[in-house]
Amino acid sequence: KQEVTQIPAALSVPEGENLVLNCSFTDSAIYNLQWFRQDPGKGLTSLLLIQSSQREQTSGRLNASLDKSSGRSTLYIAASQPGDSATYLCAISRGGSRLTFGEGTQLTVNP
């Protein structure tokens, strides 16, 4: 069974800091990996999707990397802002579209 782990569970940083969120998965036979953010009481917002054949994807201040062989992905956030405060979730697809989610990292960026 595919398991997805996110470390740390919570992270608090001062504004302006660069930070890295980690996601690991047990089965390297993935189809793609997707990063989401979830604001309190809201739905999930898709941030980045990395296909299994890709190593990284970038969108603005966000950069996601994927290392299938080691079963790891990282989400790098540059120059963090208070508006980045949210829970960040990674999810794995093994094909067939079912997403398996990690438990998330709750990020707080302090002004």
Q: What is the contact surface with another protein in residues (CB under 8 A)?
A: 31-32, 34, 36, 41-46, 49, 89, 91, 93, 95-99, 101-104
- Smallest distance, another protein to C-beta of residue 85, A: 19
Q: Which two tokens stand for residue 81?
A: 């802002």
Nearer to another protein, 14 or 40 (CB): 40
Give whichever of 25 and 36 is closer to another protein, judged by the CB atom: 36
**Closest approach of another protein to the CB of residue 33, in Å:** 11
- Give CA separation, 61 vs 41, 89, 99, in Å: 24, 17, 25
Smaller CB distance to another protein: residue 2 or 110?
A: 2
Distance CA 53, CA 33 (A): 11
Cα distance between residue 65 and residue 85, in whole Å: 21
CB of 82 to another protein, least distance (A): 22
Residue whose CB is less far from another protein, 55 or 79? 55
CB of 77 closer than 8 Å to CB of 85? no
Question: Closest separation between CB of residue 96 and another protein, Å?
Answer: 7
Q: What secondary structure does DSSP assign to 25-55, as a single string?
A: ES-S--SEEEEEEE-TTS-EEEEEEEETT-S
